[in-house]
Amino acid sequence: MVCAVVGGRDFPPGFKFGAATAAYQIEGAWNVSDKSPSVWDSHVHANPDRIIDRSNGDVASDSYYKWKDDIEIASKLGLHFYRFSIAWSRLLPKGFANYISEDGKKYYNDLIDGLLEKGIEPLITLYHWDLPQVLQDLGGWTNPLISDWFADYARVAYSLFGDRVKIWITLNEPVMFCDIAYNTGALAPGVYSPGRGSFLCNKHSMIAHAKAYRIYDEEFRPKYNGKVSLANQIMWFEPATEDDVEITEIARQFMAGMYSHPIFSKEGGWPPVMERIIAEKSKKEGLNHSRLPPLTQEEIELIRGTYDFFGLNFYTSRTVLTAKEEEKIGPWPYKGSSDIDVHLTVKPEWKNAGTKWFFIYPEGLRKLLVWLKKEYGDMEIFITENGLASYDIGLDDHDRVEYYKEHLEQVLLAIQEDEVKVTAYTAWTLIDNFEWLDGYRSKFGLYQVDYEDPERKRTPRASAHYYASVIKCHSLDIDNIISDEL
């Protein structure tokens, strides 16, 4: 008997559980067949020192060859859906839509069909940070034409896979590939352009998303009837003292609002407070134009309302203090440009997880869900990522079990007490993978991957048993955690 008979902690009927991965982090096969390099291939090859263990994604978890194992795992866990991303440069090696790789097409078709055979819904992310290098050579996300290049790519993907794939995420975490990438230079494409490149990327990514959404809406929705949105990564921000309430709300607009207000608010456009602050700063810097490129009325209308749900990636939280100039750091634990005078820190009781940016505060998730509903209305919310980093602790990942349990509790409370319409939850991640700047040092997998083994053997951790039990019971009320079967 796995599931408890009594208990009030059931998930609503129809609530879906899944797990996610991303192409560069798992596939490997970086130069197989006609695949061209992405910005991450170039970045790690040119700057091995940027990655903690000097590793890269050349082989990664080898999912280009081991995709059947991944499907098997997803099936054993009982996942309702599997979120994976397409490597743009595997499907369209020239970056543009007039040449489609047969090999790329076959790889994703096999994966989709394999999932469907096991009754697992495929959910595709079109862009999880691996821009074709050939497009980066033309300026990448700082070139306004990228919105058309991306829209063309999206159309190819919808045409090839839209008959079987009903949920699409256009962009994963523009806050990372725009703000963090350009404000630090540490992530691909390795271009340091704080407060400039980041805002160009910000604007062009919003337009790219909107165009891809509208293409689906006009050309594919009538026959396929799916859903499209993007996945925003948001930290919960809490005021450090009563005096910091106002600055905290401003910080939320810079972190969450920057990539949500244009799409999800009624009025559209940049968050007004962000527009005002950056305009003032730019003026003080002696500039005639704000560094935040304006959105024309036409662009505002193009972007506004381009969603069928809100995709939320949640991991961690911060407290916010008004900063003196010398203490100022961005809305991230990295130095770089920040246009708001805030100092971000954490509460001493928030435990640090297996990487420097990660502090655990489960209540932050519920508070954020409530804030999103208040800010943007009563929309459907998918949690598109949530999970814990750990150092290599083997298979007994009890901290991860706790993390999942405590966060799922907060999701249930948000649904039951606050009436937030959360309809899906996605664990990050199915299997250990290349964790960007942390290389293979920090682990997020429900399944461990043995990187010493050429076969990249996958082994379930305690968290896999726990998650499988939650899915099986559709509840947090579990008598016994599934101990075998995986």
If the CB atoms of residues 238 and 299 are measured against ligand PNW, the closer one turns out to be 238
Rounded to a whole number of angstroms, the minimum distance from the CB of residue 24 to ligand PNW is 8
* Binding mask of the shown chain, residues 48 to 87, with x at each position contacting ligand PNW by CB under 6 A: ----------------------------------------
Binding to ligand PNW (CB under 6 A) within 433-452 occurs at 435, 444
Nearest distance in Å: CB 158, ligand PNW: 22
- The answer to whether the CB of 196 falls within 8 A of the CB of 189 is no
Tell the smallest beta-carbon distance from residue 143 to ligand PNW (Å): 23
Alpha-carbon distance of 468 to 76, in angstroms, equals 8
| Residues taking part in catalysis | 173, 385
Q: Which of 252, 207, 253 is nearest to 230 (CA)?
A: 207
Angle at 104 between CA 101 and CA 108, to 5 degrees: 145
- In whole angstroms, what is the distance from residue 334 CA to residue 315 CA? 17
Stretch that binds ligand PNW, among 5-13, 187-195, 309-317, 372-380 (CB under 6 A): 309-317
As given in the structure block, the two tokens for residue 328 are 């100022």
CB of 280 to ligand PNW, least distance (A): 28
* Residues that contact ligand PNW, how many (by CB under 6 A): 15
Q: Tell me the C-alpha distance between 78 and 27, whole Å.
A: 22
Q: With beta carbons less than 8 A apart as the criterion, state whether 380 and 308 touch.
A: yes
Q: Which residue in the shown chain puts its C-beta closest to ligand PNW?
A: 357
User: Exposure pattern of 300-333 as b/e (b: 16+ CB <10 Å)?
Assistant: bebbbebbbbbbbbbbbbbbbbbbeeeebebbbe
Out of 235, 303, 422, 478, name the contact with ligand PNW by CB under 6 A: 235
Query: Per-residue contact track with ligand PNW, 377 to 406, x per CB under 6 A?
Result: --------x---------------------
Residue listed under structure tokens 């920090």: 442
Decide if residue 233 touches ligand PNW (CB under 6 A).
Answer: yes
> Cβ 367 to ligand PNW, closest distance in Å?
16
Please give the residues from 3 up to 22 whose contact with ligand PNW meets the rule CB under 6 A.
22
Binding mask 164-193 for ligand PNW (x = CB under 6 A): --------xx--x-----------------
Task: Candidates 89, 313, 317, 337: give the one binding ligand PNW (CB under 6 A).
Answer: 313
Find the shortest distance in angstroms from Cβ 176 to ligand PNW.
6
Binding-site member from 133, 198, 260, 316 for ligand PNW (CB under 6 A): 316
Amino acid at 40: W
Stretch that binds ligand PNW, among 198-206, 214-222, 311-319, 362-370 (CB under 6 A): 311-319
Positions that interact with ligand PNW (CB under 6 A): 22, 25, 172-173, 176, 233, 235, 313, 315-316, 357, 385, 428, 435, 444
